[in-house]
């Protein structure tokens, strides 16, 4: 489990090192690379900790040239198994992260979600209509309608524009909560996860409209990476800070 308590203690003791503007490393980007799920109840929010001490929510990682938001969404999209990091995305947006910001040659957060023209999918794990467990595409019309609402929501930075909308798919109506990335069938009240991803379908996968079996066939595909990320005593942010703090401080010594 990610030890955000220890990271908070480190940040409290080294607050002057958390704001990494004009330095060769980035604490907030290290947090973005390390986080794999929202903090558990009772655990400090590592992004709240970094922002408290002046970190730039739109900072670019000095090695990967990606924004904090793009790093988080890379982890979110690459897991392909759930939307656990979506609340982190919403939190960062609400605190000023720009989803369209990017450096030359590097993707933005929106690019990580499928680019400017993404497709929408819903998660099935209950065998409804004989479907196998996995992600399924929305029909074209409701997907397009939801995309319009999503872009308006992003434009208003997730605050002034409501995260709740509705889409019609055939005879079914769904309430969509973009802040939760979930849909609720208004008749059955079935709650399902949704996600936005690229419209292009990988040649290794089945044709569009069929189940994405990435996690069904290989449910442990990302565990080795996750285990490596969590192997050390502290998060990557704290590790980076302790390892390079002296070097960073020297940058500012006359």
Q: Which pLDDT score, from 0 to 100, does residue 23 have? A: 78
Q: How many domains does the chain have?
A: 2
Query: What is the edge-to-edge ordering of all strands in the sheet holding 191-197?
Result: 134-137, 119-124, 191-197, 182-185, 172-177, 164-169
Query: What local confidence, expressed as pLDDT, does residue 52 receive?
Result: 95
Say whether both 106 and 126 belong to one domain. Answer: no
Residue 231 within any structural domain of the chain: no
pLDDT tens-digit map of 216-244: 444 443 433 333 333 333 344 444 444 44
Is residue 54 domain-shared with residue 17, that is, in the same domain?
A: yes
The contacts of residue 85 (CB under 8 Å, 6+ apart) are: 35, 36, 37, 38, 72, 73, 75, 76, 79
Question: Which two three-digit tokens encode residue 107?
Answer: 């993707």
Q: Identify the pLDDT of residue 121.
A: 92
Q: How far apart are CA 247 and CA 239, in angstroms?
A: 14
Residue 235 lies in a domain: no
- Is 75 within the bounds of a domain? yes
- pLDDT at position 238 is 43
Same domain, 171 and 87: no
- Domain range for 8 is 1-112
Q: Are residues 118 and 147 in the same domain?
A: yes
Q: Are residues 81 and 129 in the same domain?
A: no
Q: How far apart are CA 84 and CA 195, in angstroms?
A: 11
**Six-digit token pair at 24?**
């060769």
Note whether residue 215 is domain-resident. Answer: no
What residues of the chain score a pLDDT lower than 50?
1, 201-254
Residue 140 sits in the same domain as residue 100: no
Q: Establish if 39 belongs to a structural domain.
A: yes
pLDDT for 237 equals: 42
CATH at 165:
3.30.720.50
Q: Are 149 and 177 contained in the same domain?
A: yes
Residue 152 token pair: 């308006």
Q: Are residues 106 and 119 in the same domain?
A: no
Considering the domain architecture, whether residues 137 and 100 belong to the same structural domain is answered as: no
Note whether residue 208 is domain-resident.
no
């Amino acid at each position: 489990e990610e030890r955000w308590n220890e990271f908070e203690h480190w940040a409290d003791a080294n607050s002057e090192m958390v704001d990494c503007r004009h330095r060769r490393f980035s604490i907030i980007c290290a947090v973005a690379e390390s986080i794999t799920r929202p903090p558990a109840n009772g655990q400090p929010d590592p992004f709240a900790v970094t922002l408290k001490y002046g970190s730039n929510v739109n900072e670019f990682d000095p090695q990967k040239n990606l924004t904090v938001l793009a790093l988080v969404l890379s982890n979110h999209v690459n897991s392909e198994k759930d939307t656990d990091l979506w609340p982190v995305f919403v939190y960062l947006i609400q605190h000023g992260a720009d989803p369209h910001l990017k450096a030359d040659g590097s993707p933005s957060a929106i690019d990580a979600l499928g680019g400017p023209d993404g497709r929408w999918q819903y998660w099935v794990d209950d065998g409804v209509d004989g479907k196998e467990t996995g992600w399924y595409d929305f029909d074209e019309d409701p997907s397009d309608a939801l995309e319009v609402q999503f872009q308006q929501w992003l434009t208003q930075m997730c605050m002034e524009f409501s995260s709740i909308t509705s889409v019609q798919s055939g005879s079914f109506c769904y309430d969509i909560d973009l802040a939760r990335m979930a849909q609720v069938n208004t008749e059955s009240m079935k709650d399902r996860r949704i996600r936005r991803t690229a419209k292009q379908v990988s040649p290794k996968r089945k044709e569009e409209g069929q189940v994405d079996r990435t996690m069904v066939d290989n449910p442990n595909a990302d565990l080795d990476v996750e285990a490596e990320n969590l192997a050390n005593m502290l998060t990557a942010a704290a590790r980076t800070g302790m390892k390079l703090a002296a070097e960073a401080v020297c940058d500012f010594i006359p």
